Amino acid sequence: MSTLDDRELVGRLVDGTGRLIGAPTERDRERRRIVALTLPFLALAVVGAAVPLVYLVRMSLSESAGAIQGLQFESYRTLALSVAAYLPVVGSGVSADPVYGEVIWNSLWFGAATTVVSVAVGVAIAHGLENYDLPHEGLLVTLISFPISLPGIVVAFMIMVWFARTGVLTNFFAAIAGMDPVALALTGQPPGTALAVAGLFLGYCYSMIPRATFLLRGSYAEVNTDAEEAARALGATPWQTFRYVTLPQIRPGVVGALILTFRTALAIFGTVLVLKALSVVTFRFDQELATGFNLPIASALAVVFFAFTVLFTFAGLRYTSAEVAG
């Protein structure tokens, strides 16, 4: 019976493949077109995502830093103990270096802060572009989109040109306030200080605001302007109109912008590498590989953040789908 079932399954596969290649009906031809269109994306997913991810997981479990061999879970244990040591509730009872817990926490809070600010500014810009007849709107859109094309390292050097100790704005404000430019510089300060973090914050937002803006413009294009006009006619203030009429309509776009910008914040490397203002996960990768070539720890850290990013993305998309369905 099992042999017969196997033969029947093979026969169906052969028959289905033949129908797909031959495509005798319009439905078969449509399926063939769908397969042809999806094959390049499937190949890209395998080569660009699946295979590197498998190797990344394997490197995180390798006993050697120079070759993929053996099997160990010490890298993940080290990360777990470091996170536990950094937590104020249990940290005193765990004898481990809290450095990885610190960089994970820095990545999360800094990414969340820059995401919220970037999306809020993106909402304001998208609102202005879609609701007002602005002069030279084409030029404005070009200037707003310009940072998307810049690598993170270029963004970091732009921040230095404006806000370093010899920066244009630093010296301008220092001259007005009668202060030493060194005391006002947002770059070149000791890592972790408020001024250094502020400079990195500007660099992150500069890269992320355009992404949020252009995603939100699509949401604003679907807003029911008649409902907004009716609310204003009934005496609602501009803020009330936005809060109770506009915001519910663009909420899926806001959630999508939050997902996109937060993922971007977690992945930014060039900006934090040059400015060195805060120790986050992407910067820690460079430290692990440059100082001790600790490939298993760096790979384990990458796997953990990849899993977190995937789960965060799916949770956000499910929320967005629920909002659209509702």
Are both 46 and 146 inside the same structural domain? no
> What percent of the chain clears pLDDT 70, i.e. is strictly above it?
87
Query: Is 87 among the domain residues?
Result: no
Query: Is 89 among the domain residues?
Result: no
Query: Is 231 among the domain residues?
Result: yes
Do 231 and 245 touch, CB atoms closer than 8 A?
yes
| pLDDT at residue 296 in the model | 87
Are both 112 and 54 inside the same structural domain? no
pTM of the model: 0.81
Output the domain CATH number for residue 122: 1.10.3720.10
Q: Is the pLDDT of residue 265 over 90?
A: yes
Are both 233 and 112 inside the same structural domain? yes
| pLDDT at residue 325 in the model | 47
Are both 314 and 222 inside the same structural domain? yes
Do 228 and 241 touch, CB atoms closer than 8 A?
yes
Query: CA neighbours within 13 Å on the CB side: how many for 165?
Result: 6
Beta-carbon contacts of residue 2 (< 8 Å; ≥ 6 apart): none
**pLDDT tens digits for range 192-229:** 899 999 999 999 999 999 999 999 988 888 888 888 88
Q: Which domain holds residue 182?
A: 102-325
Distance CA 99, CA 83 (A): 8
Q: Looking at 39-53, 134-148, 163-177, 307-321, which range is the least confident one?
A: 307-321
Residue type, 12: R
In three-state secondary structure terms, 281 is helix
Query: Is 92 among the domain residues?
Result: no
